[in-house]
């Protein structure tokens, strides 16, 4: 019997030689991400237990997805590898992470894959990043009636420091995973409560306003509560519960807390 001593005091770097990733074009809609692994290319990975879990975390700008490839001993491609939640159909960044019991055992550097195709779809930005002096406030959502796009505004000191590390805040999945549920909740509150008289128009609106409502409706599977002839909601509790359910579904779909736990200890 062979005995191996495991040392998990530091994260193991998964080298490029172990990873083969590519985007595959579908007949229509988003591409799929195929990733193959060859752990035998790195002897250092032999210390990882067979029952650790392999995750592929994918992001483009402020959007991200996570795919569970199962056990380290036998990674299996998920049934659905379509990048439905990403902000691009032509490129994606991904990182491999190996986790056991919430502890990050190994991770790769960021890899970028692209399709040599023009992006022909008509997707519009839902929010754009910006930075300014916010004192000690780390970030804020900036939205008003005449704004061209809502802005996720970061504290300039935090933003500049993140650039020094080579990892901009709006591309940091740990930061965005922490922030985006609150951004989504605040945006829906603004659209459906503060701008409630325009609720019916928002759903078909071609701007970012309609994009947020359609996105939320897709998450919940139901439309937001309607207002009466006076432009008032019959029950604010029903509306706030609907918004809460959207935020919960958003978080669960992306396994945000699980992702943050597995990422603890660094990118």
Mean pLDDT for each consecutive 10-residue tract of the chain (267 residues)?
42 90 81 92 92 92 87 94 86 90 88 62 66 95 89 93 81 86 95 69 74 84 76 83 93 84 64
Gyration radius of the chain over CA positions: 21
How many residues would you count in the chain?
267
* 3-state percent breakdown (helix, strand, coil) of the chain, nearest 5: 35, 25, 40
Q: What is the dihedral of CA 114, 60, 205, 242, to 10 degrees?
A: 140
pLDDT score at 225? 79
Q: Which pLDDT belongs to residue 227?
A: 75
Q: Which pLDDT value is given to residue 116?
A: 53
pLDDT of residue 38: 92
CATH numbers and ranges of domains, the chain: 12-119 (2.60.40), 128-253 (no CATH)
Alpha helices in 193-266 (DSSP H): 199-204, 208-220, 236-253, 256-263
Question: Can you give the pLDDT at residue 185?
Answer: 96
State the pLDDT at residue 6.
Answer: 40
């Amino acid at each position: 019997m062979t005995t191996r001593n495991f040392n998990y005091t530091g994260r193991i770097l998964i080298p490029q030689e172990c990873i083969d990733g590519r985007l595959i074009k579908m007949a229509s809609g988003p591409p799929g991400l195929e990733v193959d692994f060859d752990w035998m290319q790195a002897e250092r990975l032999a210390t990882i237990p067979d029952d650790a879990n392999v995750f592929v975390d994918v992001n483009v700008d402020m959007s991200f997805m996570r795919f569970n490839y199962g056990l380290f001993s036998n990674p299996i491609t998920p049934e659905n590898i379509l990048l439905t939640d990403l902000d691009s159909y032509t490129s994606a960044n991904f990182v491999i992470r190996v986790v056991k019991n919430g502890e990050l055992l190994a991770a790769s550097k960021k890899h970028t894959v692209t399709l040599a195709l023009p992006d022909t779809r008509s997707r519009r930005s839902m929010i754009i990043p910006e930075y300014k002096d916010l004192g000690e406030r780390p970030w804020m959502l900036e939205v008003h009636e005449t704004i061209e796009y809502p802005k996720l505004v970061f504290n300039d000191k935090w933003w500049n420091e993140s650039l020094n590390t080579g990892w901009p805040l709006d591309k940091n999945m740990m930061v965005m995973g922490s922030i985006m549920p609150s951004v989504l909740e605040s945006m829906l509150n603004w659209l459906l409560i503060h701008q409630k008289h325009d609720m019916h128009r928002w759903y078909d609106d071609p701007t970012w306003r309609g994009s947020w409502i359609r996105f939320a409706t897709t998450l919940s599977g139901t439309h937001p509560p309607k207002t009466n002839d006076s432009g008032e909601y019959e029950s604010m509790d029903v509306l706030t519960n609907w918004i809460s359910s959207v935020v919960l579904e958003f978080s669960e779909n992306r396994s945000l807390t699980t992702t943050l736990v597995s990422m603890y200890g660094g990118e």
